Amino acid sequence: MFDRSHETMTSKERVMRTFNFDKTDRVPINYYANPTIHMKFSKAIGVVDGNYEKVIDIIGADFIGIGVPYKGPCLFERREGMDVDPAYGVYTKLIYNESGYYHDFCYFPLKDADDDFIANYPIANPDDYDYSNVQSAINHFKNKAINIGGPGYADIINSMGRVMGMEETLMRLHTHDEATLRYVDKMVDMEIAVLDRIMRNAAGIDFLWMGEDLGTQIAPMISLDLYRKVFKPRHQKFIDLAKSYNLPVMIHTCGSSSWAYDDFIEMGINAVDTLQPEAANMNPAYLKEHFGGKLCFHGCISTAGILTDGSITDVEDNVRETIETFRGMNCYMLSPTHLIQDNTPPENIIVMYQAAHKYGRNDL
């Protein structure tokens, strides 16, 4: 099914060399998708049971995330017709559509809550996560580039928005609401403790992945001043933790986010993820011009544009043009900008990864 490019490196070597701006045998590639489209894509490439490991091996994906499941008690009341995350108190319900389904945020327990309720909203105990299988998972995927954390770690806006609602979250952050920030700090401390325990007790982790959605499609979501006063010192804790273990850091930022990249560089962030090319000041040429040689770039293949709406020729051309934009800089990791969406034609996904191998070779 896939005509893989000639490979002389492991995935781990390929990704880590890219973090260091060193030449690789080919562009590193990543894969993640919603469950419905994952099954359609899997079947299209001959993996009828949807086995994730088989899929990433076939397409040559280089990344794997390692996490720890929560094993503690549910800290929040259960509500009829809703699911609740037992560690974070996020309420969702299953919504079906013509392409598949998604989990809709449906109840916001901190919306219009008083200060005491917000400040005392439960936070999971780091002891209530199961760390027992981390090393065995790392050993199993030893040739992949292994990350801990993820796009949701350190993410203040989305994490608060899911329990408070986005409008009230932004208002309270803008006004530096003390109760809200106390809750945020407890959440940050919990996540830092979980990550530290993983890094302290497991060998073979390659980088930390964190996130914060900072933009709409046309402009920043918050001001640079607010970022520096509220977000930056809290994000810095995650970066400093990773650096204490000599790990590079990648940050996920949806929307128009390049206005914060100079600060990211100063903070020690190594790579930026998502890179929605249709958002303001986020296309590959702009990123190369303003941040080339200072940051690595992971993403750029739009899940809201070319993958869903383009022809197979459009997708192949987009992959080729994106790779060519960064050619010679040893800084690009090809990836969809987000989870591949359920309304994506499977043939477009096949073409994306085939084109990554065709045009991503560094002997061209």
Q: What is the pLDDT of residues 295-319, one digit of tens each?
A: 999 999 999 999 999 999 999 999 9
* Residues 19-70 pLDDT 10s: 999 999 999 999 999 999 999 999 999 999 999 999 999 999 999 999 999 9
Angle at 318 between CA 313 and CA 324, to 5 degrees: 125
Alpha carbon distance 69, 133 (integer Å): 10
> Which band of pLDDT confidence, cut at 50, 70 and 90, is reported for residue 364?
low
* Residues 7-27 pLDDT 10s: 999 999 999 999 999 999 999
Give the residue-averaged pLDDT of 175-203: 97
For 363, other C-beta atoms within 10 Å of its C-beta total 9
Alpha carbon distance 355, 364 (integer Å): 14
> Which band of pLDDT confidence, cut at 50, 70 and 90, is reported for residue 338?
very high
Selected residue with higher pLDDT from 4 and 307? 307
pLDDT at residue 119 in the model: 84
Q: How far is CA 231 from CA 97, 137, 228, 246, 298, in A?
A: 35, 32, 6, 23, 22
pLDDT surpasses 70 at 270: yes
> Which band of pLDDT confidence, cut at 50, 70 and 90, is reported for residue 5?
confident
Alpha carbon distance 222, 364 (integer Å): 42
> Which band of pLDDT confidence, cut at 50, 70 and 90, is reported for residue 180?
very high
Alpha carbon distance 16, 23 (integer Å): 10
Q: Distance between terminal CA atoms of the chain?
A: 22
> Which band of pLDDT confidence, cut at 50, 70 and 90, is reported for residue 363?
confident
pLDDT at residue 3 in the model: 82
* Residues 213-260 pLDDT 10s: 999 999 999 999 999 999 999 999 999 999 999 999 999 999 999 999
Whether the pTM exceeds 0.75: the reply is yes
Please, are residues 15 and 62 in contact by the beta-carbon 8 Å criterion? Answer: yes
pLDDT at residue 171 in the model: 97
Alpha carbon distance 301, 27 (integer Å): 14
Domain 11-73+112-359 in this protein, CATH class = alpha beta
